[in-house]
Structure 1
Amino acid sequence: MGNSFEVGRFGPEGVRNAGANDFTRIAAAGFKTIRLPVRWSDKTADDLGHAIDPKWMAQVDTAVGQALDAGLNVILNDHHFEALDDDPAANSAKLAAIWRQVAKHFADRPTDRLWFEIENEPHKNLTNANLLATLNPSLAAIRESNPDRPVIIGGENWSGIDSLATLELPDDDNVYPTFHYYEPFDFTHQGATWAGDPPPKVGRVYGNAADAERLVRDVDKIRAYVERTGKVPFMGETGAYEGYIEPEQRAAYHRAVREAFAPTGIGVCAWAYTNTFPFYDQKAGRWIPGMLEAFGLPEK
């Protein structure tokens, strides 16, 4: 649910892409799960307890309830805690304080349908080397009120697929690994101004032999991780930027990724519903042609 609760301190109060009608539409299309990114760190007090703004908590609570009522599973995460990536040690306690409150608030929600993801896309100074030292206090805070709640952890470098090679998880049967997949980056992010200076060049077409070979290699990385750990990772994000990529090419990319990774049995969330890498066209009031079929769902 991109461009929703991760918009930040100065973003709009409330959410234009995460209401009851949206969740009903998503479920009717055949999706089973939504991932709800939340920028909790910008909605907390500056004291030691880091109390979350109750109005903000109520808004997130409403969205989670609406999604569950629509029959969807929900992954609730912490998103864009930029200070944590800059200085993990100095901000680990704040993250734990956030999760202590969030976990307690949602403790009565179904354990099998609401999952927590401690931190989105660790990067910069938050690496696999210090990941567990940084996130374990948050996991302990969650376990105070949610002893069996599934918890998701992703690795370094924006949780790219190569982070799995050195990703270690806590000794907890209800912790699951995730990775994000935007390969090849020069295709999925072409022209995206936030993706580099300069950004990837515009005009990259998807579907050549090298792209097919990359998929084979990357699927092998998943198999290697499963063999090493016994755990099947979850693809928490994948997508292609709409700015300079035609819908047919975006659909071709999603189809290729889905078909390549399907034999591994991994779950997949697409980024995003309506935001920058969209599946649904809000202005036209329809699913973008080809995108649902590419994800293995009937066209609407």
Structure 2
Amino acid sequence: MKRGLMIASALALCTAGCGGGASGTAAAAPVPAPTPAPAPSPSPTPTPTPIASYTPAAAAIPTAGIALPLGKCVNMGNHLEAPNEGDWGRAIAEDDFTIIKAAGFTSIRLPVRFSGHAAMAAPFTIDAAFMTRVRHVVDLATAAGLNVIIDMHNYDELMAAPDANAVRFAGLWKQIAATFAAAPATVWFELINEPNTNLTNAKLPAIIAPALAEIRATNPTRPVIIGGEGWSGIGSLATLPMPADPNVVPTFHYYDPFAFTHQGATWVTPTPPLGRVFGGAADIAEIDRNLQTVRDYIARTGRVPFVGEYGANDVAGVPVSERINYYGTITAAYASVGVQSCAWAYTNTFRLRDGDHWIPGMLAAIHTTTTLR
């Protein structure tokens, strides 16, 4: 568990937006708790330390495989990866993607709980109405001019028992791939969100190879994204297995420092207390170490990863200014080494948008690389 913190929902719900830190161990999932506990009393707030400055650079160029032209990206968090759309906040609206595009975003990541809407027996048929809804959402996003990552999210059973679910996993991807075979080249597939528990890096090749083969049967060159063990923490890059496929792209997630990003998160046990500020010397030193990890990965493998999730809790008691500092610093830091990132999340959790307006200052804080490729 992440720094000694038990994540109640990781095993019980495997809810949205799990993240990993420098150690690659588990982080928590930003989703409303089933029975919300009272928010903890704020601790005394220390005087904030000035935030370090990072300068975005051109996108890193891979020497092996491809890099995605992600640009500014936002996760559609707690929408289609909930047990049912609307369970964890409002449903996706018809105009959401024109709003997102107008705000300067280039891409969206769409977490989807396909496994919760499919038969358990072969051929593991995905509910037709649910697949139609996913396709409609993807069509809305592409029509708005956005790149779309279709991400298989919250497949709890696969994490607990990878071997027992491998055939079903491949069967689900066979259907998803066929459904989107004629989609624009700006639609990308992410095999599985945040491998954890028993789905380790050592286990990944045997589990993902059949699923990738099913995708390639109908989508021979479509980009496919793979993240590693321990909730795809940055430490997972050390042993992340990559198939011999030039159109596979690595990803990792970033929620460090956890005591800041998940303060007041009632789905974490014990709940990290409010009052943690961001930007002290230890925080910046941690970022710098992690940037070196990414540089080393690019130099060693020739592949360019992207940050598929990052963010900070928007619970009452966390000043918006602190969240702005975090989103700005993290995005600029990774952009300074040519790596792009995707914020968690749009409007339901770790929000960038509140009701009918963007939270003031949040959009301006988010950086990306100075080029897309």
- Quick check: TM above 0.5? yes
How many residue pairs were aligned?
292
Instruction: Tell me whether 1:295 sits opposite 2:366 in the alignment.
Output: yes
Output one character per residue of 1:103-158: Cα deviation in whole Å (capped at 9) or x when no partner. Answer: 001000112x0000000011011111101111111111101100001000000111
Q: Helix, strand or coil for the counterpart of 1:193?
A: coil
Two-structure CA RMSD over aligned residues (Å)? 1.5
What is the CA–CA distance in structure 2 between the aligned matches of 1:15 and 1:138, rounded to whole Å?
A: 31
What is the CA–CA distance in structure 2 between the aligned matches of 1:132 and 1:189, rounded to whole Å?
A: 31
Q: Indicate the residue corresponding to 1:56 in structure 2.
A: 130
Q: Helix, strand or coil for the counterpart of 1:126?
A: coil
> Does the 8 Å CA contact 1:153/1:175 hold for their aligned counterparts?
yes
Q: Which moved more, 1:202-211 or 1:172-181?
A: 202-211
> Does the 8 Å CA contact 2:120/2:168 hold for their aligned counterparts?
no
| % identical aligned pairs | 50
What is the CA–CA distance in structure 2 between the aligned matches of 1:15 and 1:78, rounded to whole Å?
A: 19
Output one character per residue of 1:9-60: Cα deviation in whole Å (capped at 9) or x when no partner. Answer: x554999442331100000000000000000001001221000000000000
Q: Helix, strand or coil for the counterpart of 2:341?
A: coil
Q: Indicate the residue corresponding to 1:21 in structure 2.
A: 95
Match of 1:170 among 243, 250, 261: 243
Letter in 1 for 2:362: M
Output one character per residue of 1:218-268: Cα deviation in whole Å (capped at 9) or x when no partner. Answer: 110100110111000010000000114211100000111112111221121
Q: Indicate the residue corresponding to 1:280 in structure 2.
A: 353
Q: Helix, strand or coil for the counterpart of 1:116?
A: strand
> Does the 8 Å CA contact 1:20/1:67 hold for their aligned counterparts?
no
CA 1:15–1:247: 2 relative to 1, 3 Å? closer
Provide structure 1 residue ranges, at least 5 long, that are not aligned to the other structure.
Answer: none
Q: Which moved more, 1:253-262 or 1:82-91?
A: 253-262
What is the CA–CA distance in structure 1 between the aligned matches of 2:318 and 2:352, rounded to whole Å?
A: 13
What is the CA–CA distance in structure 1 between the aligned matches of 2:303 and 2:221, rounded to whole Å?
A: 17
Q: Structure 1: which 4+ aligned runs deviate by more than 6 Å? A: none
Q: Indicate the residue corresponding to 1:149 in structure 2.
A: 222
What is the CA–CA distance in structure 1 between the aligned matches of 2:87 and 2:327, rounded to whole Å?
A: 32
> Does the 8 Å CA contact 1:19/1:66 hold for their aligned counterparts?
no
Q: Indicate the residue corresponding to 1:207 in structure 2.
A: 279
Q: Indicate the residue corresponding to 1:129 in structure 2.
A: 202
CA 1:296–1:263: 2 relative to 1, 3 Å? closer
Instruction: Tell me whether 1:191 sits opposite 2:261 in the alignment.
Output: no
Q: Indicate the residue corresponding to 2:148 in structure 1.
A: 74
What is the CA–CA distance in structure 2 between the aligned matches of 1:14 and 1:58, rounded to whole Å?
A: 20
Output one character per residue of 1:150-169: Cα deviation in whole Å (capped at 9) or x when no partner. Answer: 00000011101111111120
Letter in 1 for 2:215: I
Q: Helix, strand or coil for the counterpart of 1:269?
A: strand
Match of 2:304 among 232, 235, 244: 232
Q: Indicate the residue corresponding to 1:115 in structure 2.
A: 188
Q: TM-score, normalised by structure 1?
A: 0.94
What is the CA–CA distance in structure 1 between the aligned matches of 2:340 and 2:92, rounded to whole Å?
A: 21
Q: Indicate the residue corresponding to 2:327 in structure 1.
A: 254
Q: Indicate the residue corresponding to 2:292 in structure 1.
A: 220
Match of 1:140 among 189, 213, 236: 213
Q: Helix, strand or coil for the counterpart of 1:264?
A: coil
Pick the structure with more helix per residue: 1
Letter in 2 for 1:121: E
Q: Helix, strand or coil for the counterpart of 2:95?
A: helix
Q: TM-score, normalised by structure 2?
A: 0.76
Letter in 1 for 2:327: H
Q: Indicate the residue corresponding to 2:59 in structure 1.
A: none
Q: Helix, strand or coil for the counterpart of 2:267?
A: helix
Per the TM alignment, residue 201 of structure 1 is displaced from its structure 2 partner at its CA by 2.1
Provide structure 2 residue ranges, at least 5 long, that are not aligned to the other structure.
Answer: 1-75, 369-373
Output one character per residue of 1:270-293: Cα deviation in whole Å (capped at 9) or x when no partner. Answer: 0000122010001xx110011001
Letter in 2 for 1:279: L
What is the CA–CA distance in structure 1 between the aligned matches of 2:243 and 2:89, rounded to whole Å?
A: 34
Per the TM alignment, residue 61 of structure 1 is displaced from its structure 2 partner at its CA by 0.4
